[in-house]
Amino acid sequence: MPELPEVEAARRGIAEQLLGRVLVGYELTRPALLVSAPGLTLDALVGSRLECVERHGKYLFLTFEPAVLVIHLKLAGQLVARGSGIPGFAAGHPVPAYDAPLPHKSTHLRFDFGGDAHLFLTDIRHFARVWLLPHDDLPAFRESLHLGPDVLDPAFTVETLRQGLARRTVGRLKPTLLDQSLVAGLGNIYVDESLWQAKLHPERTAASLTDAEIERLYEGIHTTMELALPTGGARILNSKAQTEVGKFPFVHGREGLPCPRCGTAIIKTRVNNRGTYLCPHCQPAP
């Protein structure tokens, strides 16, 4: 569920509030969360400064002098920072609630950044992963992820998208856009929103798209990101509870409600075994 906007919210929170601070301790309560390179433990990071925080797609890279931490929140991970010396932030899956007491029973990792500043990784479904790698291992690790350009990277252009789609002539749009090697950062929710923006049915094939439709798809992806980024994804993750009909998100979780563009009832279907929402009028089936 945490997709690019949610992970980007975490990156910004960490960059603004924890960058430059020294890690003074940690508590790992679910060891299976962490995959460490041989001979390396989190102890290696204690006493060193958080030097850099980057994001590529849904992966976060936290650079310390001795080693690098890589975090993927998968379906239900959340990162929450709290402490009297920082404003705090919350990003990712909204369960437990962002203001719930921490640690929660599903808090698997806590980092201590001095004073009482803490970063909590909580994951009710135990899918999230953290990797601890020596710097030298990072290039090979990143290569193994097979990530395409990040959605927000200027290297991701209409031309990039066109070329990526050209290599997948048979595949349907939805699974193609979910493939992180084409473009990194989109997940089930934002693919639905992007395709609605672009007025394209998720089961259209890449090969069937005209140049104009590819441009619409590219614009649709970016429009969706521009709507989601300022909310840190919180709005879409809580869409059923918090968002009015006709406001973003437009289709996700809105089965039976009117399409904000044409009024036709949004339908829910399954594509690639994923729950998929679309407007049958705006997004005609192939």
Partner DNA sequence: AACTACTCCTGGAGGC
Partner DNA sequence: TGCCTCCAGGAGTAGT
DSSP assigned state of 150: B
Q: How far is the CB of 249 from DNA (least distance, A)?
A: 11
Strand order in the sheet with 25-28: 25-28, 107-112, 118-123, 77-82, 89-92
Q: How far is the CB of 33 from DNA (least distance, A)?
A: 11
Place of tokens 């909590």: 120
Give the count of beta carbons closer than 10 Å to the beta carbon of residue 49.
15
Residues within the interface to DNA (CB under 7 A): 1, 3, 57-59, 72, 74-76, 95-96, 105-106, 124-127, 145-146, 167-172, 175-176, 178, 180, 187-189, 252, 268, 272-275
Catalytically active residues are 2-3, 58, 274
Give the count of beta carbons closer than 10 Å to the beta carbon of residue 247.
12
Nearer to DNA, 145 or 229 (CB): 145
Nearer to DNA, 83 or 232 (CB): 232
Q: What distance in Å separates the CA atoms of residue 107 and residue 124, rounded to the nearest whole number? A: 8
260, 246 Cβ separation under 8 angstroms? yes
Nearer to DNA, 84 or 273 (CB): 273
Nearer to DNA, 55 or 216 (CB): 55
Q: How far is the CB of 12 from DNA (least distance, A)?
A: 19
Q: How far is the CB of 240 from DNA (least distance, A)?
A: 8
Q: In the structure encoding, which two tokens stand for residue 242, read together?
A: 């918090």
Q: Where are the alpha helices (DSSP H) in 4-55?
A: 4-17
